Amino acid sequence: MTDTVIHTNGLTRKFGDFIAVNAISFEVKKGEIFGFLGANGAGKTTAMKILCGLLSPSSGEAKVAGYDVYTQNESIKKHIGYMSQKFSLYENLKVRENIKFYGGIYGLRGADLNQKTEQLINRLGLENEADKLVGSLPLGWKQKIAFSVAILHKPKIVFLDEPTGGVDPVTRRQFWDLIYEAANEGITVFVTTHYMDEAEYCDRVSIMVDGSIAALDTPEKLKEQFKTNSMEGVFLQLARNAKRSE
């Protein structure tokens, strides 16, 4: 149990009569890259927001990094990183200022913060851009910076909500290299995506349909189970039966 970082049991979220997330139960192990798939409107983002402490659940139980989402949601926040599909760095701050700002919020101070900031800038090869406004950089770069900022404080889990939306395949590939690096350092990665090639990179994948988890396993086993040779095949078979969509 010690290496289970996310645990949910019957987690449900209703908006009025609409059941956005319907009794989902799953576990995510430490260091795993967990793919969280589903068509638009399937409830992925809602589920992720509950786990991040941005939204209260209606019923069911969930623990993230060992903390309860009902009562300890502020403690959860110290141990997670989050990067949303909406780009979330301050566009009118410089790259270095953004890194220091978020690092500071997570309690990094003084020399430690400076050192981590410079390390990050060097690792991303942004020495020349560090004093440029984030708003002036291309989207792919912004996303790499946003991800690196989200794991700057070495969280136990990083939540990525469609992190690679709208960027070219090369940049996506580079982004996934960063994800692997993070996973190797022991950070659990919880990622939603619409790209099926990215689903192949995950250790395990869950597919949500209409608020419920329709399938959950390694990509290999899912392909076996659904008798197809790609994740796209698996996804289409499941999503075709979906009743709701945006």
Partner 1 sequence: MPIVQLIILPLASDFEVKNIRITVIDQDKSTYSKRLIQKLDASEYINVAEYKDSYTKALESTGAGTSDLILTIPVNFEKKLIKENESTIHLAADAVNGIKGGLGSAYAAMIVGDFNREIREEWMVMPRHSEFPAVEITSANWYNPGNNYKLFMVPGILVILVTMIGSFMTALNIVAEKEVGTIEQINVTPVKKYEFIIGKLLPFWVLGMVSITIGMTVAFLIFGLIPQGSFLTIYVFSGVYLFSVLGIGLLISTFADSQQQATLFAYFFMMVFVMLSGLFTPIESMPDWSKMLTKINPPAYLITVFRAVYIKGSSFSDLLPTFYALLGLGLLFNILAILNYRKRAT
Length of the chain: 246
Q: How far is the CB of 215 from partner 1 (least distance, A)?
A: 28
Q: Compare residues 157 and 208 and give the one whose CB is closer to partner 1.
A: 157
Q: Which of 46, 128, 135, 126 is nearest to 90 (CA)?
A: 135
Q: How far is the CB of 183 from partner 1 (least distance, A)?
A: 20
Q: How far is the CB of 27 from partner 1 (least distance, A)?
A: 22
Contacting residues toward partner 1, per CB under 8 A: 49, 52-56, 73-75, 77-78, 80, 82, 84, 86-91, 102, 105-107
Please state at what angle helix 169-184 crosses helix 139-150, rounded to 10 degrees: 10
Q: Compare residues 91 and 168 and give the one whose CB is closer to partner 1.
A: 91
Q: Compare residues 74 and 246 and give the one whose CB is closer to partner 1.
A: 74
Q: How far is the CB of 169 from partner 1 (least distance, A)?
A: 25
The CA-based dihedral angle spanning residues 73, 190, 192, 44, taken in that order and rounded to the nearest 10 degrees: -40
Q: How far is the CB of 194 from partner 1 (least distance, A)?
A: 18
- Three-state SS for 4? strand
Q: Compare residues 156 and 204 and give the one whose CB is closer to partner 1.
A: 156
Q: What is the 3-state secondary structure (H, E, C) of 218-246?
A: CHHHHHHHCCCCCHHHHHHHHHCCCCCCC
Q: Compare residues 53 and 219 and give the one whose CB is closer to partner 1.
A: 53
Buried b / exposed e along 45-79 (16+ C-beta atoms within 10 A): bbbbbbbbbebebeebebbbbbbebeeebeebbeb
Q: Which residue has the tokens 């589903």?
A: 38
Q: How far is the CB of 145 from partner 1 (least distance, A)?
A: 13
Instruction: Give the β-pairing of 33-38 and 188-192.
Output: parallel
Phi/psi for 192 (5° steps) reads: -105, 145
Q: Compare residues 21 and 216 and give the one whose CB is closer to partner 1.
A: 21
Q: Compare residues 4 and 58 and give the one whose CB is closer to partner 1.
A: 58
Buried b / exposed e along 112-128 (16+ C-beta atoms within 10 A): ebeebbeebbeebebee
Q: How far is the CB of 79 from partner 1 (least distance, A)?
A: 9
